[in-house]
Amino acid sequence: MNEKFYRTPDGQSGIFFTLFGAFVTWQSLGYPLGKLSQMGPGMFPLGLGSLLVIVGLIVTFNAIRSSQEEAEPFEWRSAVIITVAIIASGLLLLTAGLFVSIPVLVLISSLAGRKNRIASVILSAIGLTLMAWLIFLVGLDMRIPLFWN
């Protein structure tokens, strides 16, 4: 039995899943559930949150039983950089367009890694931009600007 299971990656994941699932389940109770034949808006989050609690408890229980090593310290720098990249891309999407927003997202996100090469970052930016264009503008016909308005 692992007495410090909460310091292992599985223990941390299990606790997070359980708490997040409990929060989603609690929040879903504020919406009408309806019946199984006519589901209300709260039925899906209730089921999803409950399932997440069950998965979290299973992962936590397995972490208690295992002899896993302690987790590495959390990389705050990477988390902050990724968050800034997402916010910057979201702010740029409607003003600068898709062909500016996605490369900015990739370029800022690449700063989170320590071993990224400029060639792979540029190829990733080009590839993701083309995929986003194909999926959202060509495939789904969404009205997203391509360039500056």
Per-domain boundaries in the chain: 5-65, 76-139
What is residue 1's predicted lDDT score, i.e. its pLDDT?
59
DSSP notation for 10-55? HHHHHHHHHHHHHHHHHHHTTS--B-SSSB-TTHHHHHHHHHHHHH
Contact 81, 108 (CB under 8 A): yes
* pTM score, whole prediction: 0.60
Positions of the chain with pLDDT lower than 70, given as ranges? 1-3, 5-6, 68, 70-72, 149
What is residue 23's predicted lDDT score, i.e. its pLDDT?
96
C-alpha–C-alpha distance, residues 46 and 105, integer Å = 33
C-alpha–C-alpha distance, residues 81 and 16, integer Å = 22
Contact 125, 107 (CB under 8 A): yes
What is residue 37's predicted lDDT score, i.e. its pLDDT?
87
CA quadruple 90, 82, 28, 48: dihedral, nearest 10: 120
Q: 93: Cβ–Cβ under 8 A, 6 or more apart, which residues?
A: 101, 144, 145
What is residue 114's predicted lDDT score, i.e. its pLDDT?
81
C-alpha–C-alpha distance, residues 109 and 116, integer Å = 10
Q: Name the amino acid, one letter, at 78.
A: S
